[in-house]
Chains A and B, each alone.
Chain A
């Protein structure tokens, strides 16, 4: 289980760096939202992996909150772009 955790964390690090690069490069606001959304899902997956490998449920409340926040944030900025334009 420790090896699995290590491999998972390395994979999640690669995924989050890729999302961060796309977040910085853009070039439009919707591109950045998709990248940020993806970054939040990487965080959620990371918390779930940590909970599975340690057997501790201490951070599962954070898991619920972050996954809710990802949806609310995405929906809010999507409404914002629709009125204002995406450049």
Chain B
């Protein structure tokens, strides 16, 4: 086990305990490397790392200029993964994302149709301003995000693991945008809100970006190690009462649940089972990052908002009353904990 920066170190064949320790140490190093380029945003960074180890995708939402693209690029450098970026625009076509078949000429001069992979064939994909693309293009990501493959001309092409999509969207620009459909939103493990930096963080940003040269981010882990980490994550035990809490929380978001008047009043669609899976998986990763080998209720509470806020669809009454998914979820969780 090594503590130095670099992708060296073995996980396979070692006991799970050591692999868990290795994971925690490596992720701590990744944090440090990311912090060289990203000031603050610790929750966002942790959320991104948790999603990476849980095998999910992240939707980042924030105003322009808050470092969303910088974060993804820095993460790609720190984990030594292939990185590609797609700037979503209204005229972007699905073939521009997943690739298309083109006429290719062999060495002997014969021509044939060959598949030209799109930018989606990468390990770490940044879908910048994803809500600017048309739903047709947005839906091109559905199969890739869930099945880790794309189908072109009746031919399925597997994506290379780990495949990790980080999409960004600007909540302010409503003109010329296409809100993501619920089906696609549900495929994102977390929806992270990128906040404005604080006073200290802003000073630090100014110091780093206006003086000297940009910091160099070194790779800490590689793709195979990340895949092994994902295996370790799934072996973390979960106590029954923690799982019961997750189930209660998920069911409490359903408007059909008459026991919860809040959900029936303001929520049109509740969380899918993917929400519960996200809470458990994210809790496991968070526990390992915290040096624990079990999921606690605190992990669930900490991950509740990023895991569920994009999985509940509010009705018109909630919008009229100015309710947001975050405050509804906080209220629901408070009632469950009070019981």
Real complex partners, A and B?
no
- Could you tell me which B residues sit within 8 Å of A by CB distance? none
